[in-house]
Amino acid sequence: MVSYKELGLVNTREMFARAINGGYAIPAFNFNNMEQLQAIIKAAAETKSPVILQVSSGARKYANQTLLRYMAQGAVEYAKELGWEHPQIALHLDHGNSFELCKSCVDFGFSSVMIDGSALPYEENIALTKQVVEYAHQFDVTVEAELGVLAGVEDEVAAEESHYTKPDEVIDFATRSGCDSLAISIGTSHGAYKFTPEQCTVDPKTGRLVPPPLAFDILDEIMKRLPGFPIVLHGSSSVPQEYVDIINANGGAMPNAVGIPEEQLRRAAKSAVCKINIDSDSRLAFTAAVRRVLTEKPGEFDPRKYCGPARDEMEKLYKHKIIEVLGSDGKAL
């Protein structure tokens, strides 16, 4: 048993309370490799933003959970080296799908876990979440739950159709499960294709797809029923069209990739939404930079020469999210 506290990590309780009161959101960035982690920590340290490092099941398979955990521990030391005296870094399990997985993460030094029972029948979701909460709280590990199902299909996170969260269920769910934060469904989804072209309109000036707005009316209803309760938004990548264009101009094929417009995320960040999950945008930044280097220098075969620019591009992206979208810069204690 390793406590996250020994690793210099923090749970999300205080981060969320401060974010709700301060009208900003904490970035939750997924990481799978060293370049992503370096970019996240550099961006957080230089902007003095609390940050959540997320590990998905896909990341565990790709990079190994043990290695990722030690990388997170290393990230705390790296942050200090960058001059961040008391780093506020949480290590979070993204979309945990069983009690056993959540328990193993708690035992292994994670400071926060998500138990995603959103695809289960309501009572089973409550029962599973409660079981995880009872275990995790013994070690002061915070627990995110999910109510409502996101649309979209991605390797490890798949849902056939979107079911918005029902505001009438949230008090009962939060009270009986004991969760610390609640991920809700209001129209976001995972991946780089969040809406079909049929669901969008076309901007006559740019010819770009304009997605339908998020269901802020549902968010408002949820906040009325659970005042001050931490709300989480998954699937919050914006799918920057500059990256899609670079990818497409350098041998890629990502037609009709579309995300959540930044102004909607800005609005969400000012509300009780205190954790915003971003993964796909980092993948796009990485891929765009790598494709560009390899097109411009076809003879290049040193991975540092294309992973380095990819890392720089991700750092720029993370800083942009922190400063221009979530407003979490300067909020670290």
Cβ closest to ligand 13P, residue 180 vs residue 279: 279
Q: Which of 30, 12, 51, 55 is nearest to 231 (CA)?
A: 12
How many residues at the interface with Zn ion, by CB under 5 A?
Answer: 1
- Decide the pairing of beta strands 89-96 and 142-147: unpaired
CA triple 237-122-27, angle to 5 deg = 25
At 252 the three-state DSSP class reads coil
Q: Which of 86, 80, 144, 151 is nearest to 110 (CA)?
A: 144
Interacting residues with ligand 13P between 133 and 172 (CB under 6 A): none
Look up residue 310 and give its two tokens: 């990819």
**CB-based contact 4:111 (threshold 8 Å):** yes
Cβ closest to ligand G3H, residue 79 vs residue 317: 317
What residues contact residue 124 under an 8 Å CB cut-off, 6+ apart?
Answer: 117
The partner in contact with residue 237, picked from ligand 13P, Zn ion, ligand G3H, none with C-beta cut-offs of 5 to 8 angstroms by kind, is: ligand 13P
The partner in contact with residue 156, picked from Zn ion, ligand G3H, ligand 13P, none with C-beta cut-offs of 5 to 8 angstroms by kind, is: ligand G3H
191 binds ligand 13P (CB under 6 A): yes
35 binds ligand G3H (CB under 6 A): no
Look up residue 134 and give its two tokens: 């009872």
Cβ closest to ligand 13P, residue 264 vs residue 280: 280
Look up residue 323 and give its two tokens: 């400063």
Per CB under 6 A, the list member of 156, 169, 220, 262 interacting with ligand G3H is 156
Binding mask 280-299 for ligand 13P (x = CB under 6 A): xx------------------
Cβ closest to ligand 13P, residue 257 vs residue 293: 257
Binding mask 88-117 for ligand G3H (x = CB under 6 A): ------xx----------------------
Q: Which of 267, 264, 98 is nearest to 187 (CA)?
A: 264
Interacting residues with ligand G3H between 1 and 30 (CB under 6 A): 30
Region of 17-25, 118-126, 206-214, 278-286 interacting with ligand 13P (CB under 6 A): 278-286
Per CB under 6 A, the list member of 32, 185, 237, 328 interacting with ligand 13P is 237
DSSP 8-state class, residue 213: P
283 binds Zn ion (CB under 5 A): no
Name the residues annotated as catalytic. 94
Residue type, 316: K
- Decide the pairing of beta strands 231-233 and 142-147: unpaired
DSSP 8-state class, residue 121: -
What residues contact residue 85 under an 8 Å CB cut-off, 6+ apart?
Answer: none
The partner in contact with residue 278, picked from ligand 13P, ligand G3H, Zn ion, none with C-beta cut-offs of 5 to 8 angstroms by kind, is: ligand 13P
Interacting residues with Zn ion between 227 and 266 (CB under 5 A): 234
Least separation, in Å, of the C-beta of 1 and ligand G3H? 26
154 binds ligand G3H (CB under 6 A): yes
Give, rounded to a whole angstrom, the gap between the first and last alpha carbons of the chain. 28
What residues contact residue 37 under an 8 Å CB cut-off, 6+ apart?
Answer: 31, 53, 71, 72, 75
- Note the residues at the interface with ligand 13P (CB under 6 A): 30, 94-95, 190-191, 234-237, 277-281
Binding site for ligand G3H (CB under 6 A): 30, 56-59, 94-95, 154-157, 190, 279
What residues line the site for Zn ion (CB under 5 A)? Answer: 234
